[in-house]
Amino acid sequence: MDKTQIFHAEVDSDGILVGGGLVLIDENYKAAINDSLPAIQGKSFKLIENNQPDVSENQTLDYTGWSQKPDGSISANWEVTTISSSELVNILVRHPREMLLASSDWTQAADSPLSTEEKANWVTYRAELRDLTANVGTITSKSDITWPTPPGVVTAEIPS
């Protein structure tokens, strides 16, 4: 379920959610009503409130189903998990860094076409990449990371 999806759930004559009852996505619900399909005749439905919360870069969101609240409304249930700073370092720093190091391995090969000075600049850049996890500190988003710029590049493009 995402923010744009709309569902309707079957309820009994008292407006109570029917366990194992029909749940229809909005388009199917409207088509069933318009076509007077026998499968829904005599049944009542309530809109399931899609109350999906906003999350930040250091959070994940899991849909866990829906439930009926004491006021009779039916709403989606969501579980928000906050990712720790150390996990974010793994996700946002370590993996992209490993790709950048691997893609610059050629600069250190004996048969590299680089001059001694250019090769030394790449050694420095690669050391900055390796030191990044120790120097990044606490992070909550990609914007908290200052990536070193590769030699000869005006702005660095970091893989996502």
Residues 65 and 114 in one domain: no
- Measured distance CA(21)–CA(39) in Å, rounded: 11
- Please state the domain count of the chain: 2
Nearest to 158 by CA among 82, 72, 96: 96
Distance CA 68, CA 77 (A): 10
pTM value > 0.75: no
The parent domain of residue 32 ranges over 7-82
State whether 49 and 90 are in the same domain.
no
Residue 120 lies in a domain: yes
**Which residue would you say has higher pLDDT here, 80 or 157?**
80
Q: Would residue 75 count as lying in a domain? A: yes
Q: Which two tokens stand for residue 60?
A: 């994940």
For 118-150, the pLDDT digits (tens) are 999 999 999 999 999 888 878 877 888 889 999
Residues 78 and 98 in one domain: no
Query: How far from chain centre, in Å, is Cα 75?
Result: 22
Name the 3-class secondary structure at 65: strand
Average pLDDT of every residue of the chain: 88
Residue 99 placed within a domain = yes
The reply to whether 21 falls in a domain is yes
Question: Has residue 100 been placed in a domain?
Answer: yes
Same domain, 45 and 92: no
Residues 103 and 77 in one domain: no
100 C-beta neighbours (distance < 10 Å), count = 19
pLDDT of amino acid 105: 95
Residues 74 and 114 in one domain: no
The region, left, alpha or beta by phi > 0 then psi within -120 to 50, assigned to residue 137 is left
With CA atoms as reference, report the closest residue to 61 among 48, 50, 73.
Answer: 50
Cα torsion angle, 25, 28, 31, 32, sign: negative
- Looking at 58, 82, 106, the residue that finishes a domain is 82
pLDDT, tens digit, 9 for 90 and up, residues 21-51: 888 999 999 998 888 888 888 899 999 998 8
Residue 109 lies in a domain: yes
E strands, 12-159, in order: 23-25, 44-49, 59-68, 74-82
What pLDDT, on the 0 to 100 scale, is given for residue 159? 65
